[in-house]
């Protein structure tokens, strides 16, 4: 599977795909020390997302979410890449700030509903994303 997508924050990434159809608040929902999803009401609760390519609708909840993602990028516990259905300004900002502060970041991209549906049954497969938005899954 290969496709081209729009990256809001450009960077490369590779890692296993992880899918959820539920939004996630990074503040209160993501542990920047371990990379674990700690929202106990979330289907990904208990999973570690460090190094994975996360496909989900987008974040929600507290605006402190960007601080958590920025800290996770600093600690190298962030997802390797983040692909959302809607432009997510909380996560994009964290990725842009990481670029300013640490000269490295994670890509944040926009996906289509068709790809979102496809991804639902392809969790765990290897994803590779280039900084110009070419995504390959195998």
Q: Check if 62 is active-site.
A: yes
Residues 54, 82 contacting (CB under 8 angstroms): yes
Judged by CB under 8 A, does residue 48 bind another protein? no
**What tokens were used for 13?**
């990434």
Q: Which of 13, 18, 32, 49 forms a contact with another protein (CB under 8 A)?
A: 32
Among 18, 54, 55, 90, binds another protein (CB under 8 A): 90
Contact flag: residue 89 with another protein (CB under 8 A): yes
Contact (CB, 8 A) for 74 and 62: no
Q: Compute the distance between CA of residue 138 and CA of residue 132 in angstroms, rounded to an integer.
A: 19
Which one of residues 1, 4, 21, 38 is an interface residue with another protein (CB under 8 A)? 38
Contact flag: residue 74 with another protein (CB under 8 A): yes
Contact 81, 73 (CB under 8 A): no
Q: Select the residue interacting with another protein from 44, 49, 53, 70 (CB under 8 A).
A: 70
Chain centroid to Cα 115, Å, comes to 15
* Helices and strands, counts by H and E, the chain: 3, 10
Kindly state whether residue 28 participates in binding another protein, applying the rule CB under 8 A. yes
| Residue numbers at the binding site for another protein (CB under 8 A) | 8, 23, 28-29, 32, 38-41, 58, 60-68, 70-71, 73-75, 86-87, 89-90, 92-94, 96-98, 100-101
């Amino acid at each position: 599977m290969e496709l081209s997508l729009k990256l809001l924050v450009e960077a490369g990434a590779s890692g296993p795909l992880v899918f959820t159809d539920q939004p996630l608040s990074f503040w209160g929902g993501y542990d920047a020390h371990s990379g674990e999803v700690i929202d106990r009401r979330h289907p990904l609760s208990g999973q570690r997302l460090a190094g994975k390519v996360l496909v989900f609708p987008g974040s929600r909840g507290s605006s402190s979410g960007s601080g958590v993602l920025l800290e996770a990028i600093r600690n190298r516990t962030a997802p390797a890449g983040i692909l959302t259905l809607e432009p997510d300004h909380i996560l994009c900002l964290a990725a842009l700030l990481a670029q300013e502060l640490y000269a490295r970041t994670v890509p944040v991209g926009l996906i289509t509903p068709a790809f979102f549906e496809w991804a639902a049954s392809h969790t765990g497969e290897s994803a590779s994303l280039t900084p110009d938005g070419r995504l390959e899954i195998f």
